[in-house]
Amino acid sequence: MITVAAGILKQDGRILICQRKRTGAFPLQWEFPGGKVETGEDAQTCVKRELREELAIEADIGPEVSAFQYTYPNGFQVSLVFFRVSGYTGEMANQAFEQILWVEPGELLSYDFLEADRALVARIARGELV
């Protein structure tokens, strides 16, 4: 099982979503920015590092929004933890994705998110989280 940490950025009522590259795993599916927690790293530090690498920002990591485990139909297991990003400095630049978009929470369900993220995305879209 791998552990993945991701950040949920909200600005002017909209949520940042990122589309995976067409050449990688799960091509063109949507996700929140983040990645695998490395050995010796905690989840918050991972999110801070990943946002620096993927979006060229220095993020202030806020509270945990959700944490759960998910098993894909092929048996692959992932432990996920999501944090609210309370702010950031720097000019955001897409350094890792096909595209990034700021969308209204109610629009989230119209995007093809990674299977593991879909229940969380539905809760955000309903206004239950973030």
Q: What is the pLDDT of residue 70?
A: 98
Q: Digits of tens for pLDDT over the chain (130 positions)?
A: 999 999 999 999 999 999 999 999 899 999 999 999 999 999 999 999 999 999 999 999 999 999 999 999 999 999 999 999 999 999 999 999 999 999 999 999 999 999 999 999 999 999 999 8
Pairing status of strand 34-36 against strand 2-11:
antiparallel
**pTM > 0.75: yes or no:** yes
Q: Which CATH class is domain 2-125?
A: alpha beta
If one counts every other C-beta atom within 10 angstroms of the C-beta of residue 29, the result is 17
Find out whether 115 and 68 touch, Cβ atoms under 8 Å.
Answer: no
Residue whose structure tokens are 């050449």? 23
Which residue has tokens 């539905």? Answer: 122
Residue of 84, 60, 76 lying closest to 114 (CA atoms): 76
